[in-house]
Chains A and B, each alone.
Chain A
Amino acid sequence: MDDSLNSWFAREILVHEGALMRYLRRSWFRREEVHDLRQEIYVRVYEAAARSRPTQPKSFMFTTARHLMTDRLRRERVVSIEAVGDIDALNVPVDEVTPDRRLDAHQELKRLADAFDRLPDRCREVVWLRRVEQLSQKQVAARMGISEKTVEKQIAKGARLIAQYVHGDRHTRRHTRAGEQETAIELGHDQ
């Protein structure tokens, strides 16, 4: 694996996952497809960066997102006017949607702690023993009186959930809502 590309990707792209997800949820009309859209955006960005790293990674990611959604909408428009209303939503300037704020080290730890606290009980215990007390999976299994297979499964789950919470999905609902309201008003003025 190209480790420098991977760490670039984590540092410059994944950190904006929260903003990207908010943007996708706001703009895309079928929520169940947002996960899939995100993957496709990551694939496009990753492949482009493998050729040459974009100078403005965040804008590049959002531009990619916009193109992808527009492409999909065009394809759909042939069959119905379903979703056409959304093209408007895509024209929101990215920086308004996602004020650029990097977390300082303390906030990052806090976010991690919150993510950890949101794990289900058993998963949380496994992750704690493995990551903080540094027990091996085998020792974790012995300590908790569960099978190694179960420990492995809980770690897989923990990795998924922590990724979800740490990279993005921790939106306090009220916050998101307020942001969306503002956008709606802005759009109203534009036209």
Chain B
Amino acid sequence: MTSSREIEHIAASWLARRDGEHWNERDQRRLDAWLDASTAHRVAFVRLDAAWQQSGRLQALGAGWRTGGVPPRGSWATPRTGAAALAAPRPSPASRQHRSRPHARLLAVAASLLVIASLALGWHWYYGAVEQASYRTAIGELREVPLADGSVATLSSDSRIRVTWSRRERHVDLEQGEAFFSVAKDRARPFVVSADARRVIAVGTRFAVRRDATDLRVVVTQGLVRLESDSRPDGPHQATTLLPAGSVAIASDGGVVVHSGTVQQAQEYLSWRDGFVNFHDTPLATAVAEFNRYNQRKIVIADARVGAMRVGGHFRWSNTDAFVRLLTRGFPIKASPHGDTIVLSPR
């Protein structure tokens, strides 16, 4: 069976061909036959056609932009009526020069002091930190943090980052938990996420980094990142690992394991951002640990046999109750509330 995406592509090429000069009656009959063959074809075509018709209205916006050529992005659609507002008065450099002037000699001294100060500042500006900030989330909280360079960090539950911006580098210390980074491109200033002795380096890309005890997990959904570890004198030398989109890397004391899959597969590791957790044939102990990351009320496994059962599914991490209910329904498991915890034991 043809997939919906393929159908959409075919519909688009019909539309484009019909839009051209060589369209004739025979083509029309063939298009009609294709449309009649399946409602799926028809709805795909109707959908594209409706959007294409609408795009004709671009003319209304384009009116007044008759300088030839395509207008730059974002500029041409500004309502012209707003022009007056845009021309708001701005202090001109000339008006500033009218301020009172100090004595010439004082000025010279001040200038030389200024040179020294600016050299120091410049050094500081280039090498030192220009901005530092910390962000954290409580258990069960997600937080999107816009950063000064246009990048965005999404903090998962119970996580902490410290951001240090310098001229050379955009540095984020992942002190605890997990964060997803959507990095603004800046070739001159790499974006570095570090956790203890490991560093994840990107230019402009999307990836998540997570700390679990001594392990570090990196999930890349766009672009390319570099994972580096400081080699320890006693340990094996850990080489730099390049991770393209679709990679899930786990760095532990034993080295780095990389799973290369599709971006979609990698994205499953990030469904926490949408409020979900995913399991595929996952030991219940692991699944429970995952739930506990996000919830104040913890699930406790009282028996190793229970912990070893395998579960699969897609769950809202905020809905511990639904998860536990499903477990007791589908497995020989009993759940009993115990203070602020839910204890799972065999039934």
Contacts and interface: CB of A to CB of B under 8 A. Distances in A.
**How large, as a class, is the contact surface on chain A?**
35 or more
B39 to A, nearest CB: 5
B70 interface: yes
Nearest to A116: B58
B71 to A, nearest CB: 8
Contact of A187 (B19, B47, B273, B316): B316
B21 A85 contact: no
Contacts of A85: 313-316, 319, 322-323, 326
Contacts, number: 195
Contacts of B321: 188, 191
Nearest to B52: A159
Given A128-B70, A160-B48, A88 B316 contact: yes
Nearest to B274: A180
Nearest to B32: A1
Interface stretch (A30-38, A52-60, A64-72, A93-101): A30-38
A185 interface: yes
Contact of B319 (A38, A43, A88, A129): A88
B316 A14 contact: no
Nearest to B79: A106
A142 interface: no
B43 A42 contact: yes
A117 B55 contact: no
Contacts of A47: 39
Contacts of A31: 264, 267
A177 to B, nearest CB: 7
B55 A116 contact: yes
Contacts of A106: 79
A176 B13 CA distance: 32
B347 interface: no
A188 B71 CA distance: 49
Pairs of residues from A and B, 5 with the lowest C-beta to C-beta distance, nearest first = A29-B314, A113-B77, A163-B51, A10-B50, A156-B16
A145 to B, nearest CB: 14
Given A26-B274, A156-B13, A188-B319, A109 B61 contact: yes
Contact of B316 (A38, A83, A89): A89
Most buried by B among A86, A131, A181: A131
Interface stretch (B3-11, B94-102, B211-219, B228-236): B3-11
Given A112-B57, A113-B61, A46 B77 contact: no
Contacts of A40: 4, 40
Contacts of B32: 1
Given A132-B59, A155-B20, 13 more contacts: A6-B46, A9-B46, A17-B47, A46-B46, A81-B311, A82-B313, A82-B314, A88-B319, A138-B20, A156-B13, A160-B9, A163-B50, A181-B142
B255 interface: no
Contacts of A110: 77
Interface string B47-88: 111111011111111100000001101101101000000000
Contact of B56 (A6, A131, A167): A131
B21 A131 contact: no
A36 B54 contact: no
A131 B319 contact: no
B150 interface: no
Contacts of B76: 113
Nearest to A82: B312
Contacts of A128: 58, 62, 70-71
Interface string B27-41: 000001001000110
Nearest to A185: B318
Interface string A119-159: 00000110111111010111000000000100111011111
Contacts of B275: 180-181, 183-184
Contacts of A38: 4
